[in-house]
Amino acid sequence: MPRPARIQDVAAAAGVSVSTVSNVLNRPERVNAGTVEKVLAIVAELDYVPHPGAAGLRAAHARSIGLVLPDIANSFYARIARGASDAAFRQGYALSLCHSGDDPEREAEYFSMLVAQRASGVVVAPLGADPGRLERLRRRGVPLVLADRTRPTAEGCSVSVDDVAGGALAVAHLLEGGARSVLVVNGPREIRQCADRHQGARQAARRVRGAVLEQVVTPRMTVECGYEAGLAIETAPDAVFCTNDFLAVGVLRALTERGLAVPGDVRLVGYGDLDAAGVAALTTVRQPVEDLGAAAIELLLDEVEAGPDHIHEARVFAPSLVVRASAP
């Protein structure tokens, strides 16, 4: 097995000194362009990887961003990771994946690990609402961007999707299609997204004369709970808006079993545009989650690199409607 190339090998092959190679790699502005080009060609040819020594170490070490998520296997967070990964890669940063598994202690341990590893900054989709944990990280001077959550810009940057607008979009579409009675099948309103989406639904209903909005709340936002809610409907409304796609799939199943046609008898809109929505041909609200992940990285790196010139932003993305068979 050939040994990896050393800086001496590069210098010998290029016919320059070791310190010239080092300058080409670290301070190329000090070296004439022809030499830079020649040395970089040899570096590529020999597949030489600089050792992160005293000088290069800080830079190599620092070019890493922590991404703290409650569950990487949840498609919402996986899409944040995809957007964040694309953006970090474009900027030459590594992304340290911290999957907290919905465990606040583990999340806190990740924060300590990131600080110990001198991460440049952290993007966190925070679990629960314990501001102490985030405050602790901020006190350590680590730039921090909140994802899927807003916060006062005095405290730092955040990126989120406008859930009020999403709820309004869904119900406005149903009302424009002629529905007058709309049932909202919602999760617990302690979940910020549920409260926001319902608020948007109310706003849209108030804009249309004769529109009647009712709500049922399910304990969890699953297919099963949607199914139960669908079976429990006494008088079928013109339309149902479910605040996530799993609830909508369950409602669809219940209505179909009861002999009610979707969209013929009842029009149905979900939320999230998960795989399930495509599978069940649901009209739904799509969130630009990859954009949110990418924006989080961009805001973070602006804070890291611009220092005092950086201005905190609360960036809010607009959702869009994906129209499928359940509510054309």
Name the one range near its own copies by CB under 8 A: 71-79, 183-191, 212-220, 232-240: 71-79
- Residue 91 makes contact with its own copies by CB under 8 A: no
Which residue(s) pair with 285 in the sheet? 321
Task: List, in order, residues 6 or more apart from 216 with CB less than 8 Å away.
Answer: 183, 184, 185, 186, 229, 232, 233
- Residue 139 makes contact with its own copies by CB under 8 A: yes
Cβ pair 315, 156 in contact under 8 A: no
Q: Describe the crossing of helices 131-139 and 104-116 by its angle, rounded to 10 degrees.
A: 10
- Binding its own copies (rule: CB under 8 A), the pick from 276, 292, 295, 299 is 276
- Residue 195 makes contact with its own copies by CB under 8 A: no
Instruction: Measure Cα distances from 252 to 125, 214, 216, 246, 265 in Å.
Output: 31, 18, 15, 10, 12
Cis peptide before 263 (omega within 30 of 0): yes
- Residue 6 makes contact with its own copies by CB under 8 A: no
Name the one range near its own copies by CB under 8 A: 27-35, 145-153, 210-218, 269-277: 269-277
Query: Within positions 209 to 248, which residues make up the interface with its own copies, using CB under 8 A?
Result: 223, 246
- Binding its own copies (rule: CB under 8 A), the pick from 9, 35, 106, 288 is 106
- Residue 81 makes contact with its own copies by CB under 8 A: yes
- Binding its own copies (rule: CB under 8 A), the pick from 116, 132, 235, 308 is 116
Give the tokens for residue 301. 């790196």
Compute the least distance from the CB of residue 207 to its own copies, in Å. 33
- Residue 140 makes contact with its own copies by CB under 8 A: yes
Four-point Cα dihedral 272, 265, 205, 254, nearest 10 = -50
Compute the least distance from the CB of residue 194 to its own copies, in Å. 20
CA distance 285 to 245: 9
Compute the least distance from the CB of residue 276 to its own copies, in Å. 4
- Binding its own copies (rule: CB under 8 A), the pick from 21, 23, 42, 110 is 110
Handedness of CA 168, 83, 80, 294 (dihedral sign): negative
Q: Residue 316 class from Cβ within 10 Å (0-12 exposed, 13-18 middle, 19+ buried)?
A: middle
CA distance 201 to 208: 11
Which residue(s) pair with 212 in the sheet? 181
- Residue 67 makes contact with its own copies by CB under 8 A: yes
Name the one range near its own copies by CB under 8 A: 79-87, 157-165, 263-271, 308-316: 79-87
CA distance 318 to 222: 25
CA distance 5 to 12: 11
- Residue 154 makes contact with its own copies by CB under 8 A: no
Compute the least distance from the CB of residue 175 to its own copies, in Å. 27
- Residue 60 makes contact with its own copies by CB under 8 A: yes
Which residue(s) pair with 146 in the sheet? 124, 158
Nearer to its own copies, 5 or 316 (CB): 5
Compute the least distance from the CB of residue 246 to its own copies, in Å. 8
- Binding its own copies (rule: CB under 8 A), the pick from 97, 195, 217, 314 is 97
Compute the least distance from the CB of residue 248 to its own copies, in Å. 10
Binding site for its own copies (CB under 8 A): 1-2, 4, 47, 49-50, 52, 57, 60-61, 63-64, 67, 71-73, 75, 78-79, 81-82, 85-86, 89, 92, 94-99, 101, 106, 109-110, 112-118, 136, 139-141, 223, 246, 249, 274-276, 278-280, 290
